[in-house]
Amino acid sequence: MTRAAALLALTFSLVACALAAGCAAPGVPIARHPIVPVAVTDLAWRQSGSAFVLTFTLPTRSMDREALPEHPAIEIYRVDLPPGGIPVKQTVWRMAYAIPSEQLDPYLKAGRIEFRDSLAAEEFARPAGSLIAYKVRTRVARARASADSNIVLARIYPAPEAPHDVRVEVTETAVVLSWPEVAQPPGASSRSYRVYRGVLESGQENAAADLSKVKLKTPLELAGTSPTPEFRDEHFEFGTNYLYTVRSVAQFGLDFVESADSSPVVVTPRDIFPPAAPTGLESTVVPATPEAPAYVELSWSISPEGDLAGYAVYRSEAEAAPGVRVSTEILPSPTFRDMSVTAGKRYYYRVTALDRAGNESPKSSAVAADVP
């Protein structure tokens, strides 16, 4: 091959390479194909009042098992079905909602999407047992969405009535909620209640009745269930700002339907409950010696209070008198030595218990001590 022919062949090869998709300037990444998120596989539903709540895990990886560069956008599809119907290949799905990636924050909780599809009044007028089918897709690239998620069939039931007039009372061992009984909706086999609790941000003690405007430090979580219109929350801390809301729950066959939230109630439990009075108080008089004056040794039973801070000792010279506190510091153990006694006098002693909130118990029974 002549030099001219070789140069011509090289030029042709460079031009062909420039036209091919795989040839680009060094350092410029070119995607081989659109990024496609993995399909959602855990789409689930529940009815809450007059809305269906859809939940699923938001994909974080592509079909190539690589991390997605950003949250994917979401497309929610639905179709109305008659009682007993199921989607088939010919079913025409309608994209009901499209949520851009930059607008996901209100729906994203700990990596899961929670989306409310509010039902119109005419939906509840459909024949009993009517269904709405849902599926979702996600996408990063405009050119291609993920595969379809699993399909869920949501049955429409009469919405239970939300509890009202929820009252709250704080006891030493529980926050007690109560409310009037709620009627069971038509067709339901049973009715119960679910109580949800969240921790309020500081300054939200006078929270609005609208839950959407309340700032929570921790999201609403199920505190417990009750078959009756009363609930005792025994897992609380004094001084914490809590918000409670109650939902009635109706059972239709194997399905459970929650009502909308009751108006929220806010409470900050305060420890105003004093410990029980100490028991078992005993006194021993130790006579004077040439080296030391006489003194009174006191001892009593250990208090079983879980938040005990210590004890205080009171002394009087009359059995019916309340006495004056003679222990200058809070006593960490159930003993005390009174070195300030006078010979020839009778003293009456009483003991109290104090908790970490500063509450003081009633005084114990008095015990007498005669100093010789």
Looking at residue 127, its pLDDT comes to 81
How far is the C-alpha of 38 from the C-alpha of 129, rounded, in Å? Answer: 33
How far is the C-alpha of 200 from the C-alpha of 181, rounded, in Å? Answer: 27
How far is the C-alpha of 108 from the C-alpha of 138, rounded, in Å? Answer: 14
Query: Between the CA atoms of 144, 145, 147 and 151, what dihedral angle is there, to the nearest 10 degrees?
Result: -150
Look at residues 122, 1, 111, 101 and name the one whose alpha carbon lies nearest to residue 50.
Answer: 122
The two domains 44-155 and 167-267 share their CATH topology (first three levels equal)? yes
Looking at residue 147, its pLDDT comes to 96
H helix or E strand, kind and range, residue 74 = strand 73-81
Mark 71-88 as b/e (b = at least 16 C-beta within 10 Å): bbbbbbbbbebeeeeeee
Three-state DSSP at 174 gives: coil
How far is the C-alpha of 158 from the C-alpha of 49, rounded, in Å? Answer: 8
> Is residue 243 within 8 Å of residue 214, measured between CB atoms?
yes
Phi and psi (nearest 5°) for 146?
-70, 170
Looking at residue 8, its pLDDT comes to 46
Looking at residue 109, its pLDDT comes to 86
Looking at residue 209, its pLDDT comes to 60
Looking at residue 20, its pLDDT comes to 46
Beta strand 308-316 with 324-325: parallel, antiparallel or unpaired?
antiparallel
Question: Which CATH code of 3.40.309.10, 3.40.50.970, 3.30.460.20, 2.60.40.10 fits the domain covering 167-267?
Answer: 2.60.40.10
How far is the C-alpha of 294 from the C-alpha of 283, rounded, in Å? Answer: 13
Looking at residue 15, its pLDDT comes to 45
CATH number of 282-370: 2.60.40.10
Looking at residue 110, its pLDDT comes to 84
Looking at residue 214, its pLDDT comes to 74
Phi and psi (nearest 5°) for 219?
-70, 160
Bridge partners, residue 45, by sequence? 54
Within 13 Å of residue 150, how many CA atoms lie on the same side as its CB?
13
Looking at residue 126, its pLDDT comes to 84
Question: Which CATH code of 3.40.50.300, 3.10.20.30, 2.60.40.10, 3.30.110.30 fits the domain covering 44-155?
Answer: 2.60.40.10
Looking at residue 216, its pLDDT comes to 83
What residue ranges of the chain have pLDDT lower than 70?
1-32, 203-213
How far is the C-alpha of 71 from the C-alpha of 24, rounded, in Å? Answer: 28
Look at residues 21, 8, 146 and name the one whose alpha carbon lies nearest to residue 73.
Answer: 146
Phi and psi (nearest 5°) for 83?
-55, 130
> Is residue 326 within 8 Å of residue 341, measured between CB atoms?
no
Here the tokens at position 254 are: 């194997």
> Is residue 59 within 8 Å of residue 149, measured between CB atoms?
no
Q: Where are the domains of the chain?
A: 44-155, 167-267, 282-370
How far is the C-alpha of 205 from the C-alpha of 223, rounded, in Å? Answer: 19
Looking at residue 352, its pLDDT comes to 98
- Give burial (CB, 10 Å; 0-12/13-18/19+) of 197: buried
How many residues in the chain? Answer: 372
